[in-house]
Amino acid sequence: MGSRKGGVGLEDGKKLVAGMPSLIPHSTISNPIDSGKNIDMHSSRTSDFGSLEQQQQSIGFHLENAAILSRNPPVFVQKPSALAAGSSAPLQFGTFNKTVFNSIGGIVSQATQEKGQQQPPNLVSLSSGAVNYENWGESLMADTSPRTDTSTDLDPDDKNQMLEGGHVSNLAASDCSDRSKERAGDQKTLRRLAQNREAARKSRLRKKAYVQQLESSRLKLSQLEQELQRARQQGIFISSSGDQSHSTAGNGALAFDMEYARWVEDQNRQINELRGGVNSHASDNELRIMVESVMAHWDDIFKLKGVAAKTDVFHMLSGMWKTPAERCFLWLGGFRSSELLKLLANQLEPLTEQQLLGICNLQQSSQQAEDALSQGMEALQQSLAETLASGSLGPSSSGSSGNVANYMGQMAMAMGKLGTLENFLRQADNLRQQTLQQMHRILTTRQAARALLAIHDYFSRLRALSSLWLARPRE
Amino acid sequence: MDRVVGLASQRAVVIFSVSSCCMCYAIKTLFGELGCNPAIYELDEDPAGREMELALIRLIGKKKPVPAVFIGGRFVGLTEQVMSHHLGGTLVPLLRDAGALWL
């Protein structure tokens, strides 16, 4: 009865009061005492109802955790295991803070009881401080439930224990009649307190539900904003009515973006395997199998691009599905084969004369093909511009039926020209695919493996550069 | 068809094209880069253009049968096949064999 649970002395309690909390041992946390009006009724915690208390505490803490989001930055390093598992860290700390103040009151009261003193004045201020802290925390959370009882859920229970268990040693001496009168009054108080506690608990549950709803809405909002941003970049008109055809194009783009992300992950994995094979001097047969699968994987992305181009050619041409640094080098919706071969020329030595010749010819052919396609694209742009500019622009361009007919004819022609964009994209991808396949044909298995590693590493560096760029500190 | 075949065998390199087609423009540019001088027939400017277009569609099986490239009288392909030949290193030998290139 006079023993004290926990190893924190008065001095430590003072330290806590001073507002510089340090690590609080577990056992102390399990010992909150309402330092409000019931000091005289409490004995120090004994093991008689310690375990029950801990159970109650766990339940109480769980509810508190759920309801309370502490705005204070967490200052405690140790997570008490008495707190219910599964609550998030900030919630724990929130309760932690609250618990600390209660504990402080408890510790101090224990200490004073041991010393046989009256309740010291600073304890009152402590308890009111705890009350104030609690109220402040609660008001920040927009809790509208009336808090008539500032204690935790435990205290009426504790009091119950006190009265029924009869483990009270510090009650002022009184005769039996006084005590029975007290008891009747106390039972009313008990009922009232129980009702208050119930109301408080309900409001905490409501708050928890509300906060969770807010959190999920916030997440959804940021997701929607991202989608919108992406769609805007693609130049899709975002109408409030949600035009079906526009959203289809948007869906095609987003679907491709996801497929591409998965493709990049898969490639990373395959390339790592290949790298392991090369470094561990795997046999030619093993290497060949790995090289074949990487080549087939490259074919996959060209297929995916072709399908996506049918739905949204402008998204594919824009390169928005690539990282910014990669986009810098964008040519007709992808990488330039001739540049890739220039990059590899240094990495592939030693090559036989025949191989060297083959690679040089390949580079020259791809350069010529690229130039041809580029000029074709330029012709397309010019033709499109001429089509849209034909007829009269400016003030006189609207009105008569002749003009309208012209306009519609113009648009029809322009639409036809836009239709050839998909063909250009397909030819460009074919160029890239052919370059890779020809390179594979010219090189030995081991050389091809190193080439594929080099290509992947180059693009990886571009992607890493993009990340660094996007994360750079700005003034 | 006869007309197509007839025209195709008259020169080393023959391209059937449409004047407003930008992909045809790209292929013409490519052959120019390679140093050839192909014979070009614009289907939209030839009086027998429609017939030839139909013949080409039957031959190739595509709705848009241009640019159709013939080398040495034989059909080589549309854009994709021509590009693939070039990257594979087989286009230039074909041209040389047909006498379209001197080198």
Q: In which element (H, E) is residue B64 found?
A: none
Q: What is the pLDDT of residue A248?
A: 57
Arithmetic mean of pLDDT, A16-21: 42
What is each CA distance from A390 to A304, A309, B22, in whole angstroms? Answer: 37, 29, 18
pLDDT, tens digit, 9 for 90 and up, residues A415-429: 989 999 999 999 999
Write down the pTM of the prediction: 0.59
Per-residue pLDDT 10s for chain B (103 aa) are 788 999 999 999 999 999 999 999 999 999 999 999 999 999 999 999 999 999 999 999 998 999 999 999 999 999 999 999 999 999 999 999 999 987 6
In CATH, what number is assigned to the domain containing residue B94?
3.40.30.10
- The answer to whether residue B103 is domain-embedded is no
Pairwise CB contact (< 8 Å): B30 & A423: no
- The answer to whether residue B21 is domain-embedded is yes
Contact with chain B for residue A90, Cβ under 8 A: no
Angle at A354 between CA A351 and CA A359, to 5 degrees: 70
| Nearest one of A32, A51, A21, A30 to A108, comparing CA atoms | A32
Given a cut of 50, whether residue A322 has pLDDT beyond it is yes
Angle at A333 between CA A329 and CA A336, to 5 degrees: 45
Is residue A138 classed as helix, strand or coil in its secondary structure?
A: helix
Best residue in B22, B63, B86 for a mutation probing chain A (most A CBs within 10 Å): B22
- The answer to whether residue B35 is domain-embedded is yes
Which residues numbered 426-455 in A keep a CB inside 8 Å of some CB on B? 426-427, 430-431, 434-435, 438
pLDDT, tens digit, 9 for 90 and up, residues A443-469: 999 999 999 999 999 999 999 999 999
Given a cut of 90, whether residue A302 has pLDDT beyond it is yes
Per the model's pLDDT, the better-predicted residue between A173 and A377 turns out to be A377
Arithmetic mean of pLDDT, A215-222: 88
Tell me which residue range forms the domain holding B60.
Answer: 2-98
Of B30, B80, B87, the CB nearest to A435: B87
Dihedral class, residue B72 (left if φ above 0, else alpha if ψ from -120 to 50, else beta): left
Given a cut of 90, whether residue A201 has pLDDT beyond it is yes
pLDDT, tens digit, 9 for 90 and up, residues A347-402: 887 889 999 999 999 999 999 999 999 999 999 999 999 998 887 777 765 666 67
Q: What confidence tier does A176 reach under pLDDT thresholds 50, 70, 90?
A: low
Q: How far apart are CA A378 and CA A385, in angstroms?
A: 11
- The answer to whether residue B84 is domain-embedded is yes
Contact with chain A for residue B88, Cβ under 8 A: yes
Query: How many domains does the structure of chain B reveal?
Result: 1
Q: Which residue has the tokens 């540049």?
A: A339
Per the model's pLDDT, the better-predicted residue between A130 and A207 turns out to be A207
Q: How far apart are CA A93 and CA A98, in angstroms?
A: 8
